[in-house]
Amino acid sequence: MKSHISNALSDFFFEYETPRQVLVRNRRVGVVCRIIQLGVLAYIIGWVFIYEKGYQSADTAVSSVFTKMKGVGYTSINGSERVWDVADYVFPSQGDASFVVMTNYIITEGQEMGTCPELHGKHNCSTNADCEGGSFKRTGHGQMTGVCVENKTCEVLAWCPVEDDHKIPDPPMLMSAENYTLFIKNSVTFPLFGVSRSNLVEDIDAAYISKCLHHPDDAPLCPIFKLGDIVKLSGFDFETIARVGGAIGIVVDWTCNFDVDVTHCKPQYNFHGLYGNAAETDKAKASVGYNFRYAKHYMDNKVQKRTLLKVFGIRFDIIVQSLARKFDIIPTLTAIGSGVGIFGVATVVCDLVLLYLLPKRAFYKNMKFKYTDTHVQHDSELLGLEKSDYCNLEANARQVQGTGQSNDPDSEAGSTETEVSKK
């Protein structure tokens, strides 16, 4: 028992096993194998390493966006002139990555709380019974009092006079918004690589900012944008979107390769029209454009009043996209290892062809697999010989018997003799 244990341990520590290799000279199988291997090699080099950058680790940025609008608008309504500055037409206050620039509006001045007729089409009536007192309608302006007034509409308790927004000003009231300018300041940090960048890159200084205006070809890094240019680059018509409002996405794209100098990491600006183009499918939608309401309250002779504005504007959403890459040995070795493993597909396919499809599949199967008969061990024990000595005697006997047999290496008999003699 002790000797068996020691032999087992000796075999485990001091012996090495290697797979048996069989060289097959077959053109069809060889061509299939090489084609598969070339395909795998092209996949590893072309897709994994070149396209997917499998030799690099990747990181996304933590970003911050600051914005500032500049420009002045002018309107004249019934002889009343007014100048609109950034405090009047930017919502919310400046600095956010998402904001609205007012381009058109409907104003209702001098509203105060009281009772007044509802607009036609909101609560039409013929008698007081048609106006249920104390009830509301979703599209109405206030609470019905139960009175049907002379113009055949229900009387409501609301901010009076009620707003009439049936007619949208055309052309837009603030067409001058086309010349407003937007300044974007963006900072990004890639924590994995410890790199921080700003869209005010090395070539941009105070003197350059004071006179530059963004242009995709002539000034692609200038962070100051004209609103008319943004709308045009997003595929919209400014007068159309200014009349009813809409939304535009400004994408700041940071795609960087830190295997080269970090100064090559610079932003790219892209503009996308999200909605608001009435000339396209938006015309068929129930709600076109973008609008909201806000009110300015004040006191007049101790009576609370307000000025209501229905604002049509362009909503700008500044979106930062980032992806930085840098060489890393771990993903490189992982990609190489997976590629080497895929090379095994060629072996599997060729084995299937050899063992199951070719006419000489029995011959190739005999060459590939080594079969051990149980009677060999039994007979060697009866003769008192070691297994290796018994195999040598059996091989010599087969050599003597095989003098009259074919020595053609392509035949199954020839392959068996060759295999046994090599043992």
Mean pLDDT computed over 360-377: 67
| Multiple choice CATH, 20-55+328-368, 3.10.105.10, 1.20.1050.10, 1.10.287.940, 1.20.120.450 | 1.10.287.940
What is the pLDDT confidence band of residue 299, given thresholds at 50, 70 and 90?
very high
- The model's confidence at residue 199, banded by pLDDT at 50, 70 and 90, is very high
Q: What is the mean pLDDT of the chain?
A: 83
Residue carrying the six token digits 């080099």: 45
**Is pLDDT larger for residue 411 or for residue 88?**
88
pLDDT of residue 416: 36
Q: How far apart are CA 39 and CA 198, in angstroms?
A: 43
Structure tokens at 310: 């229905």
Retrieve residue 45's tokens. 């080099």
Give the model's pLDDT for residue 383.
52
Measured from the Cβ of residue 148, the count of other Cβ atoms closer than 10 Å reads: 21
The pLDDT of residue 311 is 94
Measure the CA–CA gap between 249 and 321, rounded to whole angstroms: 12
The pLDDT, as a whole number, for residue 322 is: 94
| Separation of alpha carbons 402 and 413, rounded Å | 9
Question: Is 366 assigned to a binding site?
Answer: no
Terminal-residue alpha carbon distance, the chain: 30
292 is in an annotated binding site: yes
Query: Considering only CA atoms, which of 340, 339, 342, 346 is closest in space to residue 34?
Result: 346
Q: Are 312 and 100 in contact (CB under 8 A)?
A: no
Q: Give pLDDT, residue 264.
A: 93
Q: 120: which 2 tokens?
A: 């036609």
Is residue 185 part of an annotated ligand binding site?
A: no
- The H helix count followed by the E strand count for the chain is 12, 15
Give the pLDDT confidence score for residue 422 in this predicted structure. 40
| Residue 409's pLDDT band (cuts 50, 70, 90) | very low
239 touches 169 (CB < 8 A): no
List the structure tokens of 294: 């806000």
Residue 175 annotated as binding?
A: no
* C-beta of residue 127 within 8 angstroms of C-beta of residue 328: no
Torsion of the alpha carbons at 390, 393, 398 and 400, rounded to the nearest 10: -170
Task: Give the closest residue to 226 by CA, choosing from 208, 214, 242.
Answer: 214
Name the residue type at position 182: L
360 annotated as a binding-site residue: no
* Residue found under tokens 């939608």: 285
> Is the C-alpha dihedral spanning 353, 356, 357, 361 positive or negative?
positive
Q: Which of 270, 176, 184, 280 is nearest to 236 (CA)?
A: 280
Does 197 count as an annotated binding residue?
no
In this prediction, residue 214 has a pLDDT band, given cuts at 50, 70 and 90, of very high
104 is in an annotated binding site: no
Least confident among 3-17, 58-72, 189-203? 3-17
Angstrom distance (rounded) from CA 115 to CA 129? 18
Quick one: tokens of 288?
A: 């076109």
The topology under which CATH files domain 62-118+162-327 is: atp-gated p2x4 ion channel fold (2.60.490)
Prediction pTM value: 0.72
Q: Is 293 part of any known ligand binding site?
A: yes
Cβ atoms within 10 Å of 189's Cβ, excluding its own = 16
Segment 237-274, tens digit of pLDDT: 899 899 999 999 999 999 999 999 999 999 999 999 88
Q: DSSP letter at 162?
A: P
Q: Is the peptide bond before 171 cis (omega within 30 degrees of 0)?
A: yes
pLDDT of residue 374: 52
Residues of the chain with CATH 1.10.287.940: 20-55+328-368
